[in-house]
Structure 1
């Protein structure tokens, strides 16, 4: 696990409900989702995040784009 000086603040502000070892490690979360062609859960509304669908298409639907 990476040494992040902001991990506690990041964890407190993280809205993702998926049980993941990257919670609070935003740079690792973004890297993982980007490699999979996905968007991190924190970009979604609470309702959109709860679907666990991290696709760009799901984000556009969630945000009304």
Structure 2
């Protein structure tokens, strides 16, 4: 099994048409360039908001 296939098994991103799904390095670099946190860092409820802001991450993980 290749790396992308392994990563997809644990990928919690709800944006299914994303070209970076399973490509964690690309995903992190993309979101970092936007001042965002990747969806896989959020809880399931936090990811469902599609708000990848640092403020929302702190709110989500501070529960």
State TM-score, norm by structure 1: 0.89
Unpaired stretches in structure 1, ≥5 consecutive residues? none
List structure 1 segments (4+ residues) > 3 angstroms apart after TM superposition.
none
Task: State the number of aligned residues.
Answer: 61
State TM-score, norm by structure 2: 0.91
Q: Does 1:18 align with 2:21?
A: no
Give runs of aligned pairs for residues 1-65 of structure 1, distance below 5 A: 5-19=2-16, 20-64=18-62
Query: Aligned with 1:39: secondary structure?
Result: coil
Unpaired stretches in structure 2, ≥5 consecutive residues? none
Shift of 1:18: 1.0
